[in-house]
Amino acid sequence: MTGLRFCSEVKVRAVYLEGIQVDEGKKIVLDGDVHKHLAKVVRVKKTEKIKILNGEGVSALAIIESVDKKETSLSIESVSKSPDSRKFHLIVGLTKKEALEEVLRKSVELGVSSLRFVETEYSQKSFLKPDRISNILESAYCQSNNPWKLDNIEVIKFAQLEQMIKEHSSAFLMTLLDSNLTHPVTTDSLLLIGPEGGFSAQEEALLTSWGVDGLKLEMPIMRAPTAAVCGIGFLHCALKG
């Protein structure tokens, strides 16, 4: 089991315990950072209820049985399994760390299936540390109550896009150029967003030759996180017809 994260929501606080298997009546003991946050920062009390998310569609309601110096003990009251409602796959050019972090958060909130970052002509050279990525994602799962984790978080080369595009039903590129959509939007569709400065003219030409449709929205130039929200929102609307 990896990944332990606590956060608060309006009614029931949530804890992200990646991959944990829960059943009604099961007892769970939390220690380490999660216990410390629950006991010393939030000051949870006995009989208080919290929600447990495992990243595999499971959401469980638990009641706190005890809180001591080293551990918080819980009992699972109910368990529900949500169908996998994740949609679309997102690829974003490596950009500044602040924007990368925001893209991670928005991808979870938007229910995206997978997220990759691509090296391009105008992209940044550095990426986020694994621990930082985990902390951002775990916090986002709790904040959004998204029961499904975000897949395939990695950095890829531009040349890898050609094969990836072939593996999806359709692919769309956020662009400033006039364009027409020729492929249908499906839950498997791929959305590509450039870094600051966008994709180069040569890169856009290659993407077009690989069967990617340009997607131009009548808006000013957007940062990558904003483009992700607008682009995924557009695909959702197009999917519903």
Angle at 209 between CA 220 and CA 167, to 5 degrees: 95
The pLDDT value recorded for residue 5 is: 53
pLDDT at 10 over 50: no
Q: What does the domain layout of the chain look like in residue ranges?
A: 4-81, 87-240
**Tokens, residue 139:** 């916090």
Cβ neighbours of residue 164 closer than 8 Å, sequence gap 6 or more: 91, 156, 190
Q: What are phi and psi of 205, to 5 degrees?
A: -65, -40
pLDDT at 40 over 50: yes
Q: How far is CA 57 from CA 93, 139, 236, in A?
A: 29, 16, 21
Q: What are phi and psi of 173, to 5 degrees?
A: -120, 120
Percentage of the chain surpassing pLDDT 90? 74
Domain 4-81 and domain 87-240, same fold? Reply is no
Task: Tell me the CATH number for domain 87-240.
Answer: 3.40.1280.10
pLDDT at 43 over 90: no
pLDDT at 81 over 70: yes
199 CB burial (10 A radius; 0-12, 13-18, 19+): buried
What predicted TM-score, i.e. pTM, was given to this entire model? 0.88
> In the structure, what pLDDT confidence band is assigned to residue 37 with cuts at 50, 70 and 90?
confident
The pLDDT value recorded for residue 198 is: 93
The pLDDT value recorded for residue 2 is: 46
Annotate 68-132 with DSSP letters as a single string.
-SS-EEEEEEEEEE-----EEEEEEE---HHHHHHHHHHHHHTTEEEEEEEE-TT--S----HHH
Mean pLDDT of 144-157: 96
Helix axes 130-144, 97-109, angle to 10 degrees: 40
DSSP state of 20: -
- Find out whether 101 and 128 touch, Cβ atoms under 8 Å: yes
The pLDDT value recorded for residue 3 is: 52
Q: How far is CA 235 from CA 16, 29, 34, 56, 188, in A?
A: 28, 42, 37, 24, 11
Q: Which CATH architecture has domain 4-81?
A: Beta Barrel (2.40)
- Find out whether 115 and 128 touch, Cβ atoms under 8 Å: no
DSSP state of 223: -
**Tokens, residue 235:** 């695909």
**Tokens, residue 158:** 């531009």
> In the structure, what pLDDT confidence band is assigned to residue 9 with cuts at 50, 70 and 90?
very low
**Total length of the chain:** 241
